[in-house]
Amino acid sequence: MGLLLLVALLLLPGSYGLPFYNGFYYSNSANDQNPGNGHGKDLLNGVKLVVETPEETLFTYQGASVILPCRYHYEPALGSPRRVRIKWWKLSENGAPEKDVLVAIGLRHRSFGDYQGRVHLRQEKEHDVSLEIQDLRLEDYGRYRCEVIDGLEDESGLVELELRGVVFPYQSPNGRYRLNFHEGQQVCAEQGAVVASFEQLFRAWEEGLDWCNAGWLQDATVQYPIMLPRQPCGGPGLAPGVRSYGPRHRRLHRYDVFCFATALKGRVYYLEHPEKLTLTEAREACQEDDATIAKVGQLFAAWKFHGLDRCDAGWLADGSVRYPVVHPHPNCGPPEPGVRSFGFPDPQSRLYGVYCYRQH
């Protein structure tokens, strides 16, 4: 009965197909192959639409271009090509709404929102509807769905995109446990990062992150990673792991925050300067060197991915003083690699140098 009603609608004057919300139309015009032989009949005859996407997670970095593979075929193969509608969208993560990315029929396509001008279909080979995303942003990581719609049938596949990055704990200049969830989001963004997901924190814990202060994660839970159980961190009797306080009130509760920064397109470096600088002088010195004062996320990324190893303490954009150590050595802090912190000294102090960031 439903199929007969659909055919009747298609035969109405001025009706060329079934509209969908963004202005594209699927057409059953006389120019289509096999007119009168609807897709529903093919389905009854056993033709199956198959969509193929990779099972493994794709890894890339901020500012790069990436291709999300997606191909489709029919079983058994068709003797003549079909016009299909392609839709890509980003699935919701931690309560965020789904995002439309791109819709296409043939050579016609439309992209949406922040993806406009950055995405297109490859379509270099028959049945290849892979999506290319250019100038990747921190918020681009997540799960994407590739949907192929052929008349009455639609099939889809998932592609998971992950950015290579580093998780770092961040504490307010005013002290421990001063940030609500929204303030945590803001300070991470100011430091070239985003609030870390649980998966990113768990991966960092597997790589050795040990931190006793609880911090916000992307899903508004509060957790902390422990490698070496000890008294101030839940007690020595508990096993190592990522400890959780569970969901907290986004506005009322206050903790630190775990941020996630990705690999850089530019370069972080310690500025060789004849004298130590105040915070204001540090900003100006970087500008005079055609650079900007480095953000905390940029310093962590340079330490993690570019091997920045320097025992000199330097100012950063948030007013903190830190230095990165890849190969620990005497007179350079603890025996483990890491980014050391001097906290937030008096900005008028002339005891420190500065780390600058210059884009390539």
Bridge-partner residues for 260, per DSSP? 167, 194
List of residues 6+ apart from 71 with CB closer than 8 A:
51, 52, 127, 128, 129, 130
Determine the pLDDT at residue 70. 97
Identify the pLDDT of residue 77.
87
Say whether 165-261 and 48-163 share the same fold.
no
Own/partner contacts of 220-226, CB < 8 Å, gap of 24 or more, are 220/94, 220/181, 220/247, 220/248, 220/250, 221/245, 221/246, 221/247, 221/248, 222/246, 222/248, 222/253, 222/255, 223/198, 223/258, 225/201
Spatial contact of 72 and 41, defined as CB atoms under 8 Å apart: no
Burial, 205: exposed, middle or buried (Cβ in 10 Å; 0-12, 13-18, 19+)? Answer: buried
Residue 39: per-residue pLDDT? 37
What are 50's strand-pairing partners?
73
pLDDT tens digit sequence for 202-247: 999 999 999 999 999 999 999 999 999 998 888 888 899 999 999 9
Backbone phi and psi for residue 286, each to the nearest 5 degrees, phi listed first: -65, -45
| pLDDT recorded at residue 139 | 85
- What's the token pair of residue 348? 């008028």
Q: Which CATH superfamily is domain 48-163 in?
A: Immunoglobulins (2.60.40.10)
Distance, in Å, from the CA atom of 114 to the CA atom of 293, rounded to the nearest integer, reads: 27
122: left (phi over 0), alpha (psi -120 to 50) or beta: alpha
Alpha carbons 139 and 169: distance in angstroms, whole number: 19
Topology annotation, domain 165-261: Mannose-Binding Protein A; Chain A (3.10.100)
pLDDT of residue 236: 87
Consecutive 10-residue runs of the chain (360 residues): their mean pLDDT?
A: 38 32 29 34 66 94 91 88 91 81 92 95 88 91 94 89 94 96 97 93 96 96 96 88 96 98 90 96 98 98 96 98 95 92 97 94
- Residue 123 is predicted with a pLDDT of 77
Class of 264-359 in CATH:
alpha beta
Model pLDDT, residue 94 = 64
* All structural domains of the chain with their residue ranges: 48-163, 165-261, 264-359
User: Which residues lie closer than 8 Å to 337 by C-beta, 6 or more apart?
Assistant: 325, 326, 327, 328
Nearest to 320 by CA among 289, 297, 286: 297
Q: What is the pLDDT of residue 85?
A: 94
